[in-house]
Amino acid sequence: MSQRASAEVGDLAAPSSLWDRFVGSWAWPTTVFVLLLVGWEAYVRLSGILPVILPAPSAVLSYMWVQRELLLENAWPTVLHCLLGFVLAVVGGIAIAVLITQFTTIRRGFYPLVVGIALIPKISVAPLFTLWFGAGTVARVSLVFFIAFFPMVVSPASGLMSVDAGLLRMARAFGASRSQIFWSLRVPSAMPYVFDGMKVAMSLAVIGIIVAEFVTADRGLGYLVIFATGLLDTTMMLAAIILLSIIGLGLYFAIETAGRIVVYWRS
């Protein structure tokens, strides 16, 4: 019955003409995107702007196809280091979140510190990490970890504290112990927060790996961007940026999808 009622409201709100349905679907943003590309292409061709300033999208796309091996070769270490740092941040962050929420002493001592360190503009330490950890993988993964770590502490921690008061009372009334409350109530209640944290951490991890590769790398898409700048090869630069964006989007949606599967009760 409620379904029918909501359908009626929907009908009232949106008289479903062909145009309205078009605007409401995926087709509309795709069209806008294509129109922007066409506009860009037309502008480059008609204005005669130098390719070194702005290459045509067709040129970038064909470059991406022709140089696909070079791009993929450089995408691999970027993705690998990004994921490595991200996973470490997730595991470490959740572990710290559990300690902070379960032990008052640790919370009192460390939480203000964590919040304080979280305020450091983390990109600024990239050169420092190179100094400490050398120019290799360790420095890059460390930066990704460092930048992605804090949302993975703060978000799961607030999740673990966010258990519904009524559920807590109920569990205690049925004789639940502290550890039973932790596993049966706190962990599931924290899940939506964990995935919210992972989304933020993942966007930051992608930024982290690019900055790390700017500072020191001999491979990777971030390195490719810097390398292309040196060559004034704007097409290569844009190709790397586009591929980075696609990777970032893909990783984000992977987490989004995983979240929807794990947190199946929040629709």
Establish if 169 lies at the interface with another protein (CB under 8 A).
yes
How far is Cα 145 from Cα 57, in angstroms, rounded to an integer? Answer: 34
Return the number of the residue (176 or 247) whose C-beta is nearest another protein. Answer: 176
Interface with another protein (CB under 8 A), residue from 172, 229, 253, 258: 172
How far is Cα 58 from Cα 79, in angstroms, rounded to an integer? Answer: 26
CB of 267 to another protein, least distance (A): 8
Interface with another protein (CB under 8 A), residue from 4, 173, 178, 230: 173
How far is Cα 193 from Cα 171, in angstroms, rounded to an integer? Answer: 21
CB of 264 to another protein, least distance (A): 8
Q: How many residues bind another protein (CB under 8 A)?
A: 21
Establish if 171 lies at the interface with another protein (CB under 8 A).
yes
Q: What is residue 154's DSSP assignment?
A: H
CB of 183 to another protein, least distance (A): 10
**What is the DSSP secondary-structure string of 44-103?**
HHHHT--TTT---HHHHHHHHHHTHHHHHHHHHHHHHHHHHHHHHHHHHHHHHHHHHHH-
Contact 150, 117 (CB under 8 A): yes
Q: Which stretch binds another protein (CB under 8 A): 106-114, 165-173, 223-231, 245-253?
A: 165-173
Provide the token pair at 15. Answer: 């008289």
Provide the binding-site residues for another protein, judged by CB under 8 A.
164, 166-167, 169-177, 180, 184-185, 188, 191, 264-267
